[in-house]
Structure formats: C-alpha cells, structure tokens
Amino acid sequence: MNGKIYRSSLCADCGKPLKICRNCRFYAPGEKYDCREHIADPVYDKERENYCDGFSPAEGPWEGDLQQQNAEDAKKKFNSLFDF
C-alpha cells in the first residue's frame, strides 16, 4: 500500500484493518504493552484497528504465527523422545 495508513485503512486483498499492532514494526510480544515504542496507553486487542500515534508499518509480514508453530513442533518432537 502506498501512502499513509489510517485507522480506517483496509487491506485491498482481504478487507481487514491495516493499522493494527501486529502490522507495526514496533510490535514485540513480551515487551511492555507488547511494544518497543513508548506508548502511554496499552492497546489490548492487537488485531483490531487503533489510534496509536506510534504506529509504523512493518516492512514485511508478521511471522509470529510461524514462530509459534515452530516452537510447538519442537516441543512435540522433544516430548516424543520420552513416549514409549
């Protein structure tokens, strides 16, 4: 998408909101308010459009779901070592 992303901006492909925490380059699960930027008010729903002034679009797709899946797969493989 070219131009500024507003709270009402939607993805041209799927129609979902673009200005959400998970699309921000400062989104960091585990950090205070899950954000690397200093923000005054927490955003509780990370997949819902918000008014955060610190929003800056991430350069690529968020890979947290992939990382979570990899961690779960690794845990399953580890636990399978002890299944007889």
Q: What does the pLDDT look like over 40-83, one tens digit per residue?
A: 889 999 999 999 988 999 987 655 555 566 667 778 888 888 87
59 found inside a domain = yes
60 found inside a domain = yes
6 found inside a domain = no
The string of DSSP codes covering 1-47 is: --S---TT-B-TTT--BSSSGGGBTTB-TTSGGGBSS--SS--S-TT
**Residue 32 sits in which domain range?**
21-80
What is the tally of structural domains in the chain?
A: 1
Distance in angstroms between the alpha carbons of the first and the last residue of the chain: 52
64 found inside a domain = yes
Distance CA 28, CA 74 (A): 22
7 found inside a domain = no
- For the entire predicted model, the pTM comes to 0.66
3 found inside a domain = no
Q: What does the pLDDT look like over 12-42, one tens digit per residue?
A: 889 999 999 999 999 988 899 999 999 888 9
